[in-house]
Amino acid sequence: MVLIDTLFIIAVIIFSVIIHEVMHGVAADSLGDPTARYAGRLTLNPIPHLDMFGSIILPIICALSPGGFLFGWAKPVPYNPYNLFRAPRWGEMIVAAAGPASNLVLALIGGLLIRLQLFPDIAGVLMYVVAVNVSLMVLNLIPVPPLDGSKILSSILPGSLGYGALRDRMEQNPFLGFGIVLFIIILFGNAFGKLVFTIAAAIAGV
């Protein structure tokens, strides 16, 4: 049973991060930038999206570790912010927010199925879907490059504050940003786990 739970958590993380990245591309495409579509990244086929560490190794570590650290990532979907002509001011923020928003939608769908008790035999499985996607949403909203929260924040803040330049510099070394996030998780892991499962329980009504 433990093995089945572990494999399912890994599968949910992989599926959720792929949806997350595809929705970045869908948002960019809808705003005028076909880069992701031309790159073949608007597909649910996992192969073009998988990142060895973020999509496989990290989900395995998360599944085998106690607590609320349920995280991973796929290869970033390419897009050109200069092509977002349908929303020149807020385009980059919309593209960035599409990823966490997709995780919220997946969590809400899982929570709704639990609340309606349509599949009571797999309520525990659906709870994994809710928890994983809440975790991905919350983590990606942290305003540390290259996470989505940094793009959202730099779109909101005036350019004079210089956050956009800082973000661009840090995105040249994404492992620095992920290192900061991992440090935050290690330092505040218990609090983060409680936050994730509090939100997940509220969504699922349990």
* pLDDT of amino acid 67: 61
Catalytic residue among 13, 18, 21, 27: 21
Distances (CA, A) of 69 to 84, 99, 189, 190: 34, 18, 7, 9
Q: Which residue, among 96, 57, 56, has the nearest Cα to 76 in the 3D structure? A: 96
Provide the pLDDT for residue 157: 79
Do 59 and 11 contact (CB within 8 A), yes or no? no
Instruction: Report which secondary-structure segment, H or E, holds 131.
Output: helix 123-140
Q: What is the reported pLDDT for 165?
A: 57
Q: Is 92 a catalytic residue?
A: no
Dihedral angle computed from the Cα positions of residues 30, 26, 91 and 146, in that order, rounded to the nearest 10 degrees:
-170
Residue appearing with tokens 């509220």: 202
Sole residue written with tokens 């349509």? 118
- Output the CA angle 185-175-44, nearest 5 degrees: 85
Q: Domain extents for the chain?
A: 2-204
Whole-structure pTM value: 0.89
Written as tens digits, the pLDDT of the chain (206 aa) is 567 778 888 999 999 999 999 999 999 999 999 999 999 999 999 999 999 988 888 888 877 776 656 788 899 999 999 999 999 889 999 999 999 999 999 999 999 999 999 888 888 889 999 999 999 999 899 888 888 998 898 888 776 565 665 566 556 666 676 777 777 777 777 788 889 999 999 999 98
